[in-house]
Structure 1
Amino acid sequence: MGLAVVTGASSGIGLELATIAASTGYDLIIASDEAKIEDIAIHLQDFGVSVQAVQADLSTIDGVDRLIEDIAADGRSVDLLMANAGRGLGKGFLDQDFAVALEVIETNIVGTIYLVHEIGRNMRSRGAGRILLTGSIAGFTPGTFQAVYNGTKAFINSFSFALREELKDTGVTVTCLMPGPTETHFFARADMLDTSVGQAKKDDPADVAKAGFDAMLNGEGDVVSGWKNKVISAAANVLPADMLARQHRKMAEPGSASDK
Structure 2
Amino acid sequence: MKLLRLGPVGQEVPAVQDGDGRTYALGALTPDIDGPFLADGGVERVRAALAAGVLPPLDTEGLRVGAPIARPGKVICVGLNYRDHAEETGAAIPARPVVFMKDPATVVGAYDRVLIPRGSTRTDWEVELAVVIGRQARYLDSPEDAAAVIGGYAISNDVSEREFQLDFSPQWDLGKSCETFNPLGPWLVTADEVADPQALGLRLSVNGEPRQDGSTKNMVFDVAHLVWYLSQYMVLNPGDVINTGTPAGVALGLPGTPYLRAGDTVELAIDGLGRQSQTFAQA
Instruction: Give TM-score scaled by structure 2 length.
Output: 0.30
Instruction: Give TM-score scaled by structure 1 length.
Output: 0.32
Higher relative contact order (CA 8 A, sep 6+): 2
Structure with the larger strand share: 2
